[in-house]
Every structure is written in C-alpha cells, then in structure tokens.
Amino acid sequence: MKQTIAVVTVAALLSGLLPLAAGAEGIQWHKGLPEALQASRDSGKLVMLNLHTEWCGWCKKLEQDTFPAEAVIEASQAFECVSVDPEKTEVDARYNDGSFPRTVFLTAEGEVVTAIGGYLPPAEFAAEMAKAKDALAKLREVQELEKQVEAPEKNPELAVRIAVLYGELDQYKKVLEWLKPLHENLDGVPEAQRADVAVEYGSALVAEMQFPEAEAVLKPFLEASGDHARAREARFVLGYAYANQDKLQEARECWAKVAEADAEDDLGRMATDLVGRVDAALKETNP
C-alpha cells in the first residue's frame, strides 16, 4: 500500500510527489501493475500492490517508516511489488476500495488473495506479508467450496465455512454476500449455526464500516444469547460499532464486560486498553 539527482529523488519520494522506484538496497518496485502481473506469471510469486495518493499522510508514513525496514525488504523478495497512485493511473475497482494506504496481494491472474488496510509498523507489516503467502491456499479452498453451493440458503453449513474463509482473507464484501441471505432467513439456518451467522455477519459489517447495521445484528444476538460461547467476541465487536457512532458509554460497557470475563487473553487485553481510551476521551469531554 536530488540537489544532485539522488537528493531530488529522495525528496520527491518523501513528499509523495513521485511513485516509488526500484532501489538496489530496498524493495524492488515494478513500473506498473501489468509489468508486475507478467513478472508474477514468470516467477510464480504473488503480486504486492500498494495503493497510495499524494495527499495521504499515512501513505507517506508507510513509505518512510515501513517499506525501508530490513524485515519488510527481506519479505518483499517473495513478491512482485508495485506501487500505484489510483488518482493518476486507473486501477481495477476490485483492488481500490477508496481507502489509503491499501496493500493488496494478487495472483498472476489478478485475483485478490488478501489485503492490508491502512498503515502498519514494520514488524506487523512483515507478519501480514508472511500470512499473504499462506492465504493463497485458503483462496483456492474457498473457490472449490463455492462450486459446491448453488445458493447460501441451500447449504447454510458450507456457506458459513465459505464466509469464515473470506473473513480470514479480509474480503469482507464476500462475507456479506454469503451471510446476508442467511441472516435475513435465520429460521432456515440450523440452530447450531445461527450464532456463527450473527457474529461473522456483524463483524464483516463493522469491517465495512456499516456500524448501525452491525449494531442491529449484534445487539439482538447478545440480548437473546448473552451466555453463548461467541457472545464475548460479539460484545467486543459491538463495542466498535458503538464507538464509531459516538456511543462511548455503550462501547465502554461492552469492552468492560469482555475484560471482566478474562483480562489476560488477547481479547481481554485489547478490551482493557480500549476501556482506558474511552475513559480518557470521556474525561476530556466532561472534565
């Protein structure tokens, strides 16, 4: 996602005025996406497509802090890398969701494997790059499963499995496509899977920034099934839906309950941190 010639180039890159260029000691960037896709066909590597704009501050931070890091440069050798400004070069809508920076991993045929939304520091970015290689196997699995399902409502169990795989690939629009018909007709879903439908659907809605819709899915689920095994996860996600609607007290209540259940696991630690952030925000609002 040169006072001499060298100084001018560096200055331009840091200001975001020029696309990233190949460097002997950094990430090797192709000149354009067609070239990167052709290289992918030749090498068998995935394409790493970084989308950025001139006005995007987080794009500049990714270029300045993350891409020059040794771990990221080393990981980049497993990919055919290209960086594109969609405001200057047309990019397929499958890759560009309008948020920047965005780093999309593609097959040689241009299929989306997975994506990194936004800025990540070097270690986290390199970890996501490693996951992208593993994600290709999941993409192939989900494509084979899709061939077996004529429509989600005709095989809810398999449809949920497909949606979960797409969620792991960060392809949330696909998750919504598979789970929306099931959620709209929960009576036709086996009772054992209704919680999975609600939690996965609500989580995908949050990922797609459809916060009121996510609240409308997750809140009734928790009211009806507050002691379910997935209720804690649902409560954590609902907190994000509340927070992004400026319902900070409701968000705090959700996250506090998650932390109270177990403050030591990953979910509990994140919830504890979020409670602290909400408390700080509320204190600023009501000193």
CB atoms within 10 A of CB 241: 27
| Residue 37 scores a pLDDT above 60 | yes
| Confidence at 280, pLDDT banded by 50, 70, 90 | very high
Residue 101 preceded by cis peptide, ω within 30: yes
The whole-number pLDDT of residue 203 equals: 96
Using DSSP bridges, classify how beta strands 102-106 and 112-117 pair: parallel, antiparallel or unpaired: antiparallel
| Residue 40 scores a pLDDT above 50 | yes
CA distance 282 to 274: 12
| Confidence at 23, pLDDT banded by 50, 70, 90 | very low
CA distance 261 to 244: 23
Q: Which residues contact 94 (CB under 8 A, 6 or more apart)?
A: 110, 112
The whole-number pLDDT of residue 13 equals: 35
| Residue 137 scores a pLDDT above 90 | no
Rounded to an integer, the average pLDDT of 43-69 is 96
CA distance 79 to 85: 19
CA 142 to chain centre: 18
Q: What is the DSSP letter of 147?
A: T
Using DSSP bridges, classify how beta strands 102-106 and 79-84 pair: parallel, antiparallel or unpaired: unpaired
CA distance 163 to 267: 22
| Residue 18 scores a pLDDT above 70 | no
Structure tokens at 105: 């991993």
The whole-number pLDDT of residue 136 equals: 86
Global pTM value:
0.70
The whole-number pLDDT of residue 134 equals: 84
pLDDT tens digits, 192-212:
999 999 999 999 999 999 999
The b/e string for 79-102 (b: 16+ C-beta within 10 A; e otherwise) is: bbbbbbbbeeeebeeebbeeebbb
pLDDT tens digits, 96-123:
888 999 999 999 999 999 899 899 999 9
pLDDT tens digits, 153-164:
999 999 999 999
Structure tokens at 223: 């009211």
pLDDT tens digits, 213-267:
999 999 999 999 999 999 999 999 999 999 999 999 999 999 999 999 999 999 9
In order of start, what are the domains of the chain with their CATH numbers?
5-132 (3.40.30.10), 148-285 (1.25.40.10)
| Residue 94 scores a pLDDT above 50 | yes
Give the helix/strand (H/E) hosting 36.
helix 33-43
Place of tokens 């994140």: 270
